[in-house]
Amino acid sequence: MRFHRFFIAGGFSKGLARLSRILGMVGSIGLLSACSVVRYEYYPPTTDGGRQCVAQCSIAREVCVGNENQRALNDRQSCEQRNRWNYQNCVRRAKDKNDAKSCAGLQSSCWASANTYRCDENYRACFVSCGGHITVIKEQ
């Protein structure tokens, strides 16, 4: 009976949307509880050559991270430019003011984040090839 009232109160489609949101939240909570955190402990090489090698790895990682940050910035700026262009075209084609007001709803949100996972993986491989040691710690 409760399930029936759940759908009747807001109509079938609103009930499905509510049910979908609830199931999504329950699923997300389940996934978060199953996740573990991975962290790394770095033990540098003991030789001067090994430490110089790791310094080069660090420089390469910083360049990689800088490139990823720039890529994310470029992606966001491109999205914002597309939004401006689409909005301006929509307003130009609008038949009246009410039609033009609807153009604002066509803009998508623009965000991009740097994916530095590859940079970190490459750094760890470089660190080990220089004679360093890394301990992987998985925490629940």
Three-state SS at 41: strand
Residue 75 has pLDDT above 60, yes or no: yes
In a shared domain, residues 72 and 115: yes
Q: Where residue 27 falls among pLDDT bands split at 50, 70, 90?
A: very low
- Which pLDDT does position 37 carry in this prediction? 92
The tally of CA atoms less than 13 A away on the side-chain side of residue 7 is: 7
In a shared domain, residues 74 and 53: yes
In a shared domain, residues 48 and 15: no
Residue 2 lies in domain: 1-35
- Non-local (6+) Cβ contacts of 118 within 8 A are 64
In a shared domain, residues 43 and 21: no
Q: What is the DSSP secondary-structure string of 53-73? A: HHHHHHHHHHHHHHHHHHHHH
Residue 100 has pLDDT above 50, yes or no: yes
Would you say 60 and 122 are in contact if contact means Cβ atoms under 8 Å apart? yes
- Which pLDDT does position 98 carry in this prediction? 85
Element (H, E) at 103: none
In a shared domain, residues 18 and 44: no
In a shared domain, residues 60 and 82: yes
- Which pLDDT does position 101 carry in this prediction? 85
In a shared domain, residues 63 and 116: yes
In a shared domain, residues 31 and 76: no
In a shared domain, residues 29 and 41: no
In a shared domain, residues 31 and 57: no
Query: Would you tell me how many other CB atoms lie within 10 Å of the CB of residue 77?
Result: 12
Domain count along the chain: 2
Compute the distance between CA of residue 65 and CA of residue 120 in angstroms, rounded to an integer: 9
